[in-house]
Amino acid sequence: MKTRIVGAVAAAVALFAGAASAEDYPSKAIEVVTHAGNGGGTDVTTRMMMLRARRELGQDMIVVNKKGGGGAVAMDYYLGVPADGYNILTFTIGHAATLAKGETKMTLDDIRPIARGTDDPQILMVRCGAYADAADFVAKQKEAPITYGTTHLGNIDDVSAFMFTKKGGMMTPKILPFDGGGELATQLVAGAVDAAVLNLAEAGSQIEAGDVCPIVVLAPERMSALPDVSTAEEMGIPVSFSTVRGFVVHADTPDEVAAKIEESLMNAMGHTVYQGFLTSVGLDSTSVAGSDVWGSQLSVMVNDMQSALKELGFIE
């Protein structure tokens, strides 16, 4: 009987302590874990989010860089920190690929979506004048394969090219990887590849010069910056891939704490400071989304990535 009473009291104390901590949250600095080095796209996005989130939460926020393994080091590190809301993980499409390939101990069940910060659609680009229009671009690839330039292998870029051609009934493309988006855009103009998988900012100068033309956007809706460029889905090709960056916490984070983090991050990214950052990289307010949208996208992109990587031979 005494044991039961002690157990009941312990449970009540634990429940009270949990409620108190949620009510008082946050009472100390919050760490934001990223896999990117200083100045990279993920690092910059994270820091821009934090500019206003510090004010929303009333506490300092500190970036913790854990580089290596395509995000695996950061994800495995994150599994070892407490599920109390004082640690937030920046999660990207690269993390999704690493997770899909089983190169981390983390699974989707270990994390809880909070908010998305950027949704930068993959864009198929060609030399201006090489194809009459998007329909011609597709038709030519049903006759013979073309060469796509990418900045990754076994990640979003070659997966985007592969899934676009497969679901569109086109011939399997040849893939030629480059070190970065800037080099790829230059090589596209030079004729080293027939098409390139890029984000809008990566080929901005070549587009402005009239050398490179976006021809298909891999997104559900047209981009406000490219209103005349068709989406794959408009063409009857159900493919949507984006370079996404968002934020997650431990799955066991208390509901009240997770809700406060989401509200604070959404307010921070709705502010003109963050919205100005989005505009500067060719994006708009639709990049920012809450846990429902972000959670659904997480599940879809991990599953699609896993399926595509299997067909490409990167995983069994």
Distance CA 2, CA 204 (A): 72
Mean pLDDT, rounded, for 245-249: 97
Residue 237: the pLDDT is: 95
Helices (H), 38-180: 41-57, 72-79, 93-100, 134-143, 156-167
Rg of the chain over CA atoms, in angstroms? Answer: 22
Per-residue confidence at 8, pLDDT binned at 50, 70, 90? very low
Helix 2-24 crosses helix 255-270 at what angle (to 10 degrees)? 10
Q: What pLDDT digit, counting tens, does each position of 61-106 carry?
A: 999 999 888 899 999 999 999 999 999 999 998 899 899 889 999 9
Q: Between residues 112 and 281, which one has the greater pLDDT? A: 112
Whether the predicted pLDDT of 134 surpasses 70 = yes
Residue 309: the pLDDT is: 82
Residue 13: the pLDDT is: 44
**Full-model pTM:** 0.80
Whether the predicted pLDDT of 11 surpasses 90 = no
Residue 313: the pLDDT is: 79
Per-residue confidence at 7, pLDDT binned at 50, 70, 90? very low
Domains located in the chain, CATH noted: 2-119+242-312 (3.40.190.150), 120-235 (3.40.190.10)
